[in-house]
Structure 1
Amino acid sequence: MHDQGLLLVNLGSPLSTEVADVRQYLNQFLMDPHVVDLPWPLRRLLVSLILLRRPAESAEAYKLVWQPEGSPLVVISERLRDEVRKLWSHGPVELGMRYAQPSIESALLRLAEQNVKSVVLAPLYPQFAESTTTTAIEEAERIVNKHKLTLELRTLPAFYEDESYIHALVASARPDLEQDFDHLLLSFHGLPERHLTKLDPTGNHCLQSADCCQTASDEVLAGCYRAQCLRTAERFASAAQLQPQQWSVSFQSRLGRAKWIEPYTEEQLEELAGQGVKKLLVMSPAFVADCIETLEELAIRGREQFIAAGGEDLHLIPCLNDHPEWAAALVRLCEARRSS
């Protein structure tokens, strides 16, 4: 009998670049009440409207970054799983995606078949958000209950300022930071502002002042995605020995008309070019694996926008992907959760 299994969880991707597969994926993703947090009738109406045009547009974007083996996010996550398997000595390691395949359900069933009685559930999201972390945890719990699995789940908490994670970020980015550049933009995935304010335990702190994230209590910080992103950025910049004027933070991937957390990446690209920045580095520490949001939104569309605004070059620093320092850091994080 194995001691303890490990389940790595990421968001997921369409099965292919065909419009039908992209539509199916987007429907599953956007109908998650943690992602579009509207009452079901309004959510269904909104998502149906989005699905009229978005699948065809997204399919074209996926085609630009699709790898011979499949979706970049899935392929890279599988490589990370393989690296982690070499380091995790306590039992089997599986990979599950919250949406599409390989599913969390199939991964948990494989672990159960190997007589694992305890599983470290590792959502691969450094910063906590209900639309990523919470929905992954709830899906895993649903599968355990659905199949009456005798599995104890131990969930890895957000690791946005963990020293080993920050060290891995710096190690993976070091080759690019040693090159000549004018500015580094840390572009995190965005969220609607209401996703923050509804989790504010005080009810009167989040987004109430310009420095709310810097002055957040531990209680507020525990559930504030934006504050955690800024903490990651500050820890990274300090560890990489960057000066304050060398870097800034933004948030990308807005969808819909709701107010999202600021500053917006597309506006920052225009502003930095207008300030005379010519050689721009961009990295996205909210993602541990490169995906459509980094490879297409930043490296292709973002680069085009930056150059059109007067910049000369935008270079995307790869995500952690399957970097050995990241695999080792992830195993250390999971082993700490295993023994806690």
Structure 2
Amino acid sequence: MPSSAAPSAERHVHGQPARTGVLLCNLGTPEAPTAPAVRRYLAQFLSDPRVVEIPAALWKPILHGVILRVRPAKSAAKYASIWTPEGSPLKVWTERQAKLLRGYLGERGHAVEVVPAMRYGEPSIGAQLDALRSRGVTRVLVLPLYPQYSGTTTASVYDAVHAWAGAQRWVPELRLVNHYHDEPLYIDALARRIEAHWSAHGRPERLLMSFHGVPERTLHLGDPYHCECHKTARLLAARLGLSDAQYVVTFQSRFGKAKWLEPYTEPTLRELARQGVKRVDAVCPGFAGDCLETLEEIAIEGKEAFLTSGGREFHYIPCLNDTHEGMLALTAVAERHLAGWPTREAADAEELSRQRERARRLGAAA
């Protein structure tokens, strides 16, 4: 039988006000741009059945016998090309966003804890939920930094949260953000980011909106990701005043031999150059912060593909990262999903006063 005594981190402390936390989740990153670190990361990432929907008996021999022997060194070289003195760009931006989100919510009167977490790698979702619990948090808003929902990303975050919850005696109240692909402030933030670039560098002949790819079969199985990417693109194009001929939607990061969502980003860039398009600007609206897929795959490889195919000018427009407009969008999403929870400092103080009064009355009655 399980023990009736919960770990000290889970024990209820009478008189302690219930606090609220936000778990800001991103995909993850290796700890270093080295083959061993990338191997550990890929082993966890590519073992997730949400990511690779191939029966384990068939997939594991391929993963451990081929992929993890060959790919880590190649990927490590790519990570090294975009690594910063502070570490992985993805981790740097996610940590900054978590710190800023707490501040932005605080300016609106919300007393909440905000911590960053990675689905793969460190800091893990379980470890960060433990950290929130140790701070007295009993309500957690899980906010994945994926604007568009996909079973391969958002649902995998939920899996990790529920796996952690399954091992707890006292499970905190949980809310899960599904997506924010059409959040008005998110669309406006993207538009302002692009407009600022155009103000400084002029406008391109085409704006390429590149989203992370997923296998096409996920669309036919009911995953809304493809539709949500196109809705984001339509809203952004409308906000920028672009005609259908002035922008193109593509999907990047194809892996394996299966058919993925089309059109693919690199072949599209090459075709645009062959058609005589001289300048392309690229933006990645599906990423909240710059990372390997944007800085290396688009800003470096995508640029090379376009220029070597006859294009003359290629501009990569950075992600929202820690921009004021981007943080306003995340704050709006978080605030909407926190609605109804006593997150304001005054409310927390009142709750503590009520708990103390109840404890006093119970003590007197005894």
Q: Which residue of 1 aligns with 2:82?
A: 65
Q: 8 Å contact 1:154–1:337 — kept in the other structure?
A: yes
Question: Which of 106, 109, 118 lines up with 2:130 in the alignment?
Answer: 109
Q: Is the 8 A contact 1:81 1:95 kept in 2?
A: yes
Question: Do residues 301 (structure 1) and 293 (structure 2) align?
Answer: no
Partners of 2:315 and 2:245 lie apart in 1 by: 18
Q: Does residue 147 of structure 1 match 2:168?
A: yes
Q: How far apart are the structure 1 equivalents of 2:170 and 2:253?
A: 37
Kindly provide the amino acid, as one letter, of the partner of residue 97 in structure 2. Answer: L
Superposition deviation, residue 177 in structure 1: 3.0
In the alignment, what sits opposite 2:288? 288
Provide the rounded CA distance (Å) in 1 between the counterparts of 2:193 and 2:20: 29
Residue 215 (structure 2) pairs with residue 192 (structure 1): yes
Matched, 1:162 2:178: no
What is the alpha-carbon distance in structure 2 between the residues aligned to residue 92 and residue 224 of structure 1? 31
Q: For residue 76 of structure 1, what is the aligned residue in structure 2?
A: 93
Structure 1, gaps ≥5 residues long: 200-222
Q: Secondary structure at the match of 1:102?
A: coil
**Inter-partner Cα distance in structure 2 for 1:14 and 1:245:** 39
Residue in structure 2 matched with residue 249 of structure 1 by the alignment: 249
Q: Contact 2:213–2:252 at 8 Å: present in 1 too?
A: yes
What one-letter code is carried by the residue in structure 2 that aligns with 1:282?
A
Cα distance in 1 for partners of 2:310, 2:214 equals 28
Q: Following the alignment from structure 1 to structure 2, what is the Cα–Cα distance between the partners of residues 65 and 126? A: 23
The structural deviation recorded for 1:274 is 1.1
Structure 1 Cα separation of the partners of residues 327 and 57 of structure 2: 42
Instruction: Determine which of 195, 209, 212 is the counterpart of 1:174.
Output: 195
Q: Deviations over 1:295-325 (max 9, x none)?
A: 0001111111110000112111101111111
Asked if residue 134 in structure 1 is aligned to residue 155 in structure 2, the reply is yes
Q: Distance in 1 between matches of 2:147 and 2:198?
A: 21
State the secondary structure of the residue aligned to 1:321. coil
Q: Is the 8 A contact 1:2 1:90 kept in 2?
A: no
Q: Secondary structure at the match of 2:137?
A: coil
2:55 aligned residue: 39
- Partner residue of 1:203? none
- CA-based RMSD: 1.2
CA shift for structure 1 position 149:
4.2
Contact (CA 8 Å) 2:183, 2:329: kept in 1 or not?
Answer: no
What is the distance in 2 between the residues matched to 1:163 and 1:148? 39
Q: Quote the residue 2:13 is aligned against.
A: none
Contact in 2 for aligned 1:283/1:317 (Cα 8 Å):
yes
Identity %: 41
* Runs of 4+ with deviation above 4 angstroms: none
- Describe the SS at the equivalent of 1:251: strand
The one-letter code matched in structure 1 to 2:89 is P
Match of 1:95 in 2: 116
What is the total number of aligned residue pairs between the two structures? 317
SS of the residue corresponding to residue 82 of structure 1 reads helix
Letter in 2 for 1:95: P
Q: Which SS does the other structure have where 1:122 is aligned?
A: strand
Report how far residue 148 of structure 1 moved.
3.0
| TM-score (ref. length: structure 1) | 0.91
| Native 8 Å contact 1:83 1:324 kept in 2 | no
Q: What letter is aligned with 1:141?
A: H
Which residue of the partner structure matches residue 143 of structure 2?
122
1:227-284 superposed Cα distances (whole Å, 9 cap, x missing partner): 1100000000101112222111000000000110100101100111011111110011
Report the more deviating stretch, 39-48 or 299-308. Answer: 39-48
Amino acid at match of 2:29: S
In structure 1, the residue matched to 2:4 is none
Q: Confirm or deny: 8 A CA contact 1:2 1:91 kept in the other structure.
A: no
